[in-house]
Structure 1
Amino acid sequence: MRDDHSRPRACDCRKSPPDRPCETALAVYRRALLQGSLPEADAPGCLRALHLVVEDSDAPGSLIPVPPETASFAALGSIEEAIVGQRRKLRATRAALAVFEGLYADVRRPERPVLTRLAGRAVISKALDAAVGSCREELRTAQPGGGRPSHVLGEALSRDLEMLRRGVRQRTIYQHTVRSHRATLSYIEQVTAAGAEVRTLAEVVDRVIVCDREVAFVPVPEDPHTALRVQHPALVSLLIRHFDHAWGRSVPVRPEAAPLRPSAITSDLQRTILLAVVGGETDASIARRLGMSRRSVAEHMRKVSEQLGSNSRAQLGYLLATSGLLDS
């Protein structure tokens, strides 16, 4: 029966970084080099795992040190073999996928799918990542609904910064209400510092993302978890013209002054709200469309009602329509 002294010496590898041997192994290996050998029980497990000691055939129970260069063949051989195997598997998988890609193209080519339905947030996100990742010249984005959720902005930030580093021009239109939304302003500050251009408008009709002049993404109104990928040149050009028209009417965002509400922005918002009142829209509908609260909509209406001397919504609509206040 072997006593406790015959057990391998414990090491302190857990206290050391992955790329640094433990102090116990270094000390024992140094002693083995100086003495020429050491008892088998004195060798820590990590020294054996690295093949830095081997049994002495002339002295059973003893170990002799091995030069690291020699030990590397045994220690690294299995790892290198595994890497070679993984690389071989990678090449084989790529080749197999290439065959399927050719088959897919042959079957789908007659269909020419210029519109592709993308269902589910994960599918949409992957399609967007692929399109933005291959964007070479310009990304146009229109984002309605006011301030965006922090987790959505966090996902977009790294993707957009990487694209800007590649020299791609990024232009984004938000609604005026983002100028008081901290999370969105933080995102805007970071991307504009990297070269992006951001503007705001009272009303952004719908969400649209256009990569270069090749592919666009639009939502499906009746299903918030579904989008369309548009690849028809005429439809993409139409979306680009729509975006560029809105861009020309929008107001640049300067992050350092973004919390302020310049008179141009206030009057633009107010005019859009009052036009909606004349059109018979409710406060809830106006607030939803402009990405703001019902209270803010009501406050704008109150101020104009006081100016025109209106006592009711119907009277306000009549006075607005006949006063010339909303004439271009």
Structure 2
Amino acid sequence: MSERSSEPGVAYPVPPTAAAVSVLRPLREQLDEHRRAERSLRAAFSQFDAVYNEARRQEEPPFTLLLGGTAITNTLEAAVDDCREELLTAQPGGGRPVEHLVDALDRDMRLLSRGTRQRTIYQHTVRAHPPTLAYIEQVVAAGAEVCTLAEVFERVIICDREVAFIPVSDDRGAAALEVRHPAVVRFLTQTFERDWARAIAVDEQSAAHKPSAVISDTQRTILQAIVSGETDESIARRLGMSRRSVAVHVRKVSEQLGSRSRGQLGYLIATSGVLDGHVE
């Protein structure tokens, strides 16, 4: 680098560091300005973070894992007690234990007495379970709506379409998931509504007997399961009935179709057209 002298056409060399200071000074000033702007923006956004985090702390979490029977029962009871518009319940597994029915009856009567709509889906097998039938008769008389299906996908309880409870494992008493995410609750509600639309109503007149549609629906589900290769045990578990009851249905169909083995029975069911009608 050189520095021009006062004499025309004459220049004198200067140290490069001196020239660098002159060239770099404007860049440093710009960097300092950007750093000041960065610090100012960070300070502003940190204030926004504080407001955002405080708002999130006040929100209820979209998913809460409930561990143990006490936590599940207490949380569920509080949600049901707060339910004002509608309670939707799907209860797979056949007849319910008497002690559970006693607790449920007291809770449901309180719910119905304040005008909350209650709809429940059970499996067809509850129609052969006297304690559950007695409970159904009482809640239906009080205004509840109850339907049955051959197969219910999974247990779910939905309160006012705002919060839902689902099990997280086969051991339903060990853990449950409280769901408040609107999209997930909406999905669970739509699944319930699809099941409800194809279920068979239980009213005060039909509670004491099984309509033919229920018998046919149960038989059809068992036959389809046989064609799929399921065992009596897995069918019984899925339909909420005893293994012995499933075996009775299987034996009856085997006799009608002249089957000599389980494999042959599945083939005959699939090819005979029996699923197009119903089995008596």
TM bracket (short chain): 0.7 to 0.9
Gaps of 5+ in 2: 1-52
With normalisation by structure 2, the TM-score equals: 0.76
* Alignment match, 1:228: 177
CA offset digits 1:281-311 (Å, max 9, x no partner): 1101101111111111111111111222211
Provide the C-alpha distance between the structure 2 equivalents of 1:194 and 1:219, rounded to a whole number of angstroms.
Answer: 28
Residue 128 in structure 1 maps to residue 76 in structure 2 = yes
Tell me, yes or no, if structure 1 residue 288 matches structure 2 residue 237: yes
> Which one-letter code corresponds to 2:212 in the other structure?
S
Identify which of 128, 132, 137 aligns with 1:189.
137
Aligned to 1:180: 128
Aligned mates of 1:110, 1:172 — CA distance in 2: 33
Higher alpha-carbon deviation: 288-297 or 221-230: 221-230
Report the Cα offset of residue 130 of structure 1: 1.1
Please point out which of 200, 203, 212 is paired with 2:148: 200
1:170 alignment partner in structure 2: 118
Structure 1 Cα separation of the partners of residues 181 and 112 of structure 2:
26
Higher normalized contact order (CA 8 Å, seq sep 6+, divided by chain length)? 2
Change (3 A) 1:122 1:112: closer
Check 1:129–1:110 CA distance in 2 against 1; reply closer, same or farther (3 A cut).
Answer: closer
TM-score by length of 1: 0.65
Tell me, what secondary structure is at the counterpart of 1:296? Answer: helix
CA shift in 2, pair 1:108/1:240, >3 Å:
same
Partner SS, residue 140 of structure 1: strand
- Distance apart, 1:113 and its partner CA: 2.0
Within 5 Å, which residues of 2 pair with 1:198-277?
198-224=146-172, 225-277=174-226
Q: Which position in structure 1 is the counterpart of 2:47?
A: none
RMSD: 1.8
Q: Within 2, Cα distance between the matches of 1:143 and 1:115?
A: 21
1:109 is paired with a residue whose SS is helix
Displacement after TM superposition at 1:324 (Å): 2.7
CA distance in 2: counterparts of 1:201 and 1:291, whole angstroms: 11
1:147 aligns with 2:78: no
- Gaps (5+ residues) in structure 1? 1-104
Distance in 1 (CA, whole Å) between partners of 2:187 and 2:77 is: 23
Structure 1 residue 180, shift from structure 2 partner:
1.3
2: CA distance, partners of 1:112 / 1:227: 17
In the TM superposition, residue 327 of structure 1 has moved relative to its aligned partner by: 4.5
Percent pairwise identity = 64
Q: Which runs of 4+ in 1 moved over 6 A?
A: none
Aligned residues: 224
Q: Does the aligned pair in 2 maintain the 1:213–1:236 contact within 8 Å?
A: yes
